[in-house]
Amino acid sequence: MENNNYQQLTRTFQRLSRFSHLSSIASWDMFTMMPPGGSAARGEALAELSVLQHQILTDKKVGEWLDAAQSENLNDVEQANLREMQRHYQQASLLPEALVEAKSLAGSKCEHAWRTQRPANDWQGFSANLKEVVKLSREEARLRAEAKGCTPYDALLDIFEPDMTSARLDVLFADLKSWLPQLLAQVVEKQAQQSFVPPQGPFPIATQRELGLETMTMLGFDFNGGRLDVSAHPFCGGVPEDVRITTRYDEEDLLSALFGVVHETGHARYEQNLPRTWQGQPVALARSTAIHESQSLFFEMQLGRSNAFLKKLLPAVHQRFGSQAAFSEENFIAWNQRVKPGYIRVDADEVSYPAHVVLRYEIERTLINGDIEVDDIPALWDEKMQAWLGLSTKDNYRNGCMQDIHWTDGGFGYFPSYTLGAMYAAQLFHAARNALPGLDSAIAEGDFSALFDWLRQNIWQHGSRFSTSQLIQQATGEDLNSAYFRQHLTSRYL
């Protein structure tokens, strides 16, 4: 039979994809619906599933098929799929089964405890669990680094952002540091002259949910293949055929949940539009975490906080929450574009947001490379927050180093993708605007069809067929160029 080895591989990866489907829905349930008493059993079940997937993927037959398939007659999509299969296989075969299981269990335990430890500001309790997660993550990083011939941190970064290195990140982030603090100071000073009227709550949660659902519909979310729920930390999960997004509500704050929904809808539209013809194969997966993040930030920041979109959104806000001074057009736009350095990354405006990311990147890189220990995190966090944003987090662990979920399950190497995503989003929006004359007036009329078609053509439909830099070059005519991000922030805020 022709291409027999490749066919064996596609069947194996189809099987893995189905287990991954089960794992992601069980994880979604753990974050949203599961009663607290189910935590230990669910953690064990998910660990069992991750071991099973690891066994299937690292079977020596898979390695043999991969070698043999290299000489089979494959078209370019199949070759791209084979390249991705090889990457998944190499990533997995470096890790012993016992480490995979231990990591999964430690991650579930740390994340579950974090839910109560964070509100209690219990750094001592949290750090005990985090130390175990870090120990296992370092072990994973060491094994990957030895095989790749790179630093431990770069080996983890490569999982989320193939081909990205900390050397390249250091250049990008050094550039940011050279202009962002000054731009932030200028914007804060400029906005100090403006008067903002804050929205007056309470805003009932049920009505906030209705507004979120209406906004998702406006943004083209397919409810036949997805839903909106509540979790402690907003996320997008599930699978392309059944995308689960979450937000968190606050009766006094209308816009945090709403823009959380807009952000997650960007992730969801990407997932819902991944190539179905290659479904179940690695080539049909999203390209990388930074490209994924570029889609959510394209929706939330480039589109969502633009004047044109905010004007379009305002009637729906009036309809549900009446008219108040805060909901005049001018104030509504100004309020949604205000820049106010704060403690919480997920609530940060787009000008101060990169500070939160660079801070985490610098800490996690030194942590994984073994230059600092878990006990050093709070003081470093405080020092970097003061340097970037003039805020102290001393003894305020809840709003400092305990605020995120990523480190609880060993997601080291993930944070840079947020700022890389912001850079990609600015570059993509710039390219879309060049390709689509009249885009701003179409957005103001609530017609996003041309914009979403452009994203579908240039990003969504390709899955993992191309490398990140090929994908961006094809879409925008050049590789990642952070100048567009600077240009975007300057033109919107100054």
| Residue 271 tokens, joined | 């997932």
pTM above 0.85, yes or no: yes
Cβ within 8 Å of residue 461, ≥6 positions away:
273, 274, 275
Q: Are residues 175 and 304 in the same domain?
A: yes
| Residue 288 tokens, joined | 């990388």
- The alpha carbon torsion through 59, 40, 242, 12 (nearest 10 deg) reads 10
What does the alpha-carbon distance between residue 81 and residue 181 come to, in Å, rounded to a whole number? 42
**Domain limits for position 40:** 4-150
Which pLDDT band holds residue 355 (cuts at 50, 70, 90)?
A: very high
What's the rounded mean pLDDT across residues 36-63? 96
Q: Are residues 145 and 34 in the same domain?
A: yes
- Tens of pLDDT, residue by residue over 59-97, are 999 999 999 999 999 999 999 999 999 999 999 999 999
Beta bridge partners, 237, equal 244
Q: What is the pLDDT of residue 78?
A: 98
Q: Are residues 144 and 177 in the same domain?
A: no
Q: Are residues 266 and 136 in the same domain?
A: no
Q: What is the pLDDT of residue 232?
A: 85
Cis, peptide link before residue 162, omega less than 30° from 0: no
Q: Are residues 225 and 98 in the same domain?
A: no
Residue 444, number of CB atoms within 10 A of its CB: 15
Q: pLDDT over 90 for what percent of the chain?
A: 98
Q: What is the pLDDT of residue 32?
A: 96
Q: Are residues 257 and 376 in the same domain?
A: yes
Out of 122, 150, 178, a domain closes at: 150
* CATH number, position 404: 1.10.1370.30
In this predicted structure, the answer to whether residue 434 has a pLDDT above a threshold of 90 is yes
Q: Are residues 121 and 178 in the same domain?
A: no
Which pLDDT band holds residue 150 (cuts at 50, 70, 90)?
A: very high
What does the alpha-carbon distance between residue 246 and residue 231 come to, in Å, rounded to a whole number? 6
Task: Say if CB 355 and CB 388 are below 8 A apart.
Answer: yes
What are the b/e assignments for 360-394, b being 16+ CB within 10 Å?
bbbbbbbbbbeebebeebbebbbebbeebbeeebe
Q: How far lies 13's CA from each of 2, 20, 85, 144, 337, in Å?
A: 19, 10, 8, 22, 44
Out of 88, 117, 150, a domain closes at: 150
Q: What is the pLDDT of residue 233?
A: 83
Q: Are residues 126 and 180 in the same domain?
A: no
Please give the mean pLDDT across all residues of the chain. Answer: 96
What's the rounded mean pLDDT across residues 112-125? 96
Task: Say if CB 34 and CB 90 are below 8 A apart.
Answer: no
**What are the CB-based long-range contacts (under 8 Å, 24+) for 440-446?**
440/306, 440/308, 441/308, 443/303, 443/306, 443/308, 443/309, 443/312, 444/308, 444/311, 444/312, 445/312, 446/218, 446/312
* Helix (H/G/I), strand (E/B), else coil: 33: coil
- What is the residue whose two structure tokens read 């909106």? 228
What does the alpha-carbon distance between residue 111 and residue 412 come to, in Å, rounded to a whole number? 14
Out of 134, 150, 166, a domain closes at: 150
In this predicted structure, the answer to whether residue 1 has a pLDDT above a threshold of 60 is no
DSSP structure string for 425-441: HHHHHHHHHHHSTTHHH
| Residue 432 tokens, joined | 């879309």
| Residue 175 tokens, joined | 């550039």
- Tens of pLDDT, residue by residue over 246-272, are 999 999 999 999 999 999 999 999 999
Q: What is the pLDDT of residue 346?
A: 84
Task: Say if CB 156 and CB 140 are below 8 A apart.
Answer: yes
Q: Are residues 146 and 157 in the same domain?
A: no
| Tally of structural domains, the chain | 2
- The alpha carbon torsion through 293, 109, 128, 402 (nearest 10 deg) reads 30
Q: What is the pLDDT of residue 87?
A: 95
In this predicted structure, the answer to whether residue 37 has a pLDDT above a threshold of 60 is yes
Strands 242-247, 236-239: pairing is antiparallel
Q: What is the DSSP letter of 448?
A: -
Q: Are residues 65 and 169 in the same domain?
A: no
Q: pLDDT over 70 for what percent of the chain?
A: 100
Q: What is the DSSP letter of 282?
A: G
- Tens of pLDDT, residue by residue over 369-382, are 999 999 999 999 99
Residue 183: CA atoms inside 13 Å, Cβ hemisphere, count? 22
What does the alpha-carbon distance between residue 329 and residue 99 come to, in Å, rounded to a whole number? 55
Tell me whether residue 264 is one of the annotated catalytic residues. yes
| Residue 153 tokens, joined | 């941190």
Q: Are residues 235 and 142 in the same domain?
A: no
- Out of 84, 264, 293, 300, pick the active-site residue: 264
H/E run at residue 295:
helix 289-297
Q: What's the alpha-carbon Rg for the chain, to the nearest Å?
A: 22
Q: Are residues 370 and 419 in the same domain?
A: yes
